Amino acid sequence: MEEIRKISKEQIQMAFVATCIETTARQQGVDYLEIYRRMERVGMIEDYILPNYETLHSESREVLAERLMECLNNWEAALYDSPTKSPIVQEIIMSNRIGAISVLLAKHLQIDNVRALKLFYESETCRKLHDKSTGLYLYGDLYVVDEFMREMEDRQ
């Protein structure tokens, strides 16, 4: 006798959420994890997709993915209401800081800028600069250079 497996409403809804993530990622040409993390960061799964399941699941995958991206972009814009809170702006700021730090290090160590950049990127100081919990990002570039120099001295 053949057993019929019943799928719960929760399983169906979670499969739909996964479809939203996978389809949107495919349409955008990005990794599924990037879309998932972005949706999670703004609360889109719990606050938009699941509460609107009945309406959203009637859309084609392509239309659904387009609407979800529009929603995601709008929610992220609202979350990052200050331009400096945007991840892209934060990346630009960090890149500029690392460039400036590398030039300062090159002058201090009397080496070329590319070598200084390599040394800095491979350092614990650079890791700490990226890790917001350390607070190092709040200090000026000269302070970060001093931290790097202390790290190099401790290695010897």
Task: Report the run of H or E that residue 146 belongs to, with start and end.
Answer: helix 141-155
Considering the domain architecture, whether residues 102 and 138 belong to the same structural domain is answered as yes
Query: How many helices, marked H, and strands, marked E, lie in the chain?
Result: 9, 0
Among 56, 79, 102, the domain-final residue is 79
Higher pLDDT, 117 or 135: 117
The verdict on residue 1 lying in a domain is no
Query: For residues 106 and 116, is the Cβ–Cβ distance under 8 A?
Result: yes
Considering the domain architecture, whether residues 125 and 146 belong to the same structural domain is answered as yes
At residue 137, the pLDDT reads: 86
Q: What is the pLDDT of residues 44-77, one digit of tens each?
A: 999 999 998 998 889 899 999 999 999 998 888 7
Q: How many domains does the chain have?
A: 2
Q: Which residue has the tokens 């169906």?
A: 12
Among 49, 79, 109, the domain-final residue is 79
Q: What is the pLDDT of residues 68-104, one digit of tens each?
A: 999 998 888 777 665 666 777 788 889 999 999 999 9
Return the CA Rg of the chain. 23
Q: What is the pLDDT of residues 7-37, one digit of tens each?
A: 899 999 999 999 999 999 999 999 999 999 9
The verdict on residue 100 lying in a domain is yes
At residue 90, the pLDDT reads: 82
Considering the domain architecture, whether residues 151 and 102 belong to the same structural domain is answered as yes
CA neighbor of 102 nearest in space, from 154, 141, 130: 141
Q: Tell me which residue range forms the domain holding 62.
A: 9-79
Angle at 21 between CA 87 and CA 67, to 5 degrees: 80
Considering the domain architecture, whether residues 64 and 121 belong to the same structural domain is answered as no
Among 79, 95, 114, the domain-final residue is 79
Return the DSSP state at 122.
Answer: T
At residue 83, the pLDDT reads: 61
pLDDT band at 138 (very low <50, low <70, confident <90, very high): confident
The verdict on residue 2 lying in a domain is no
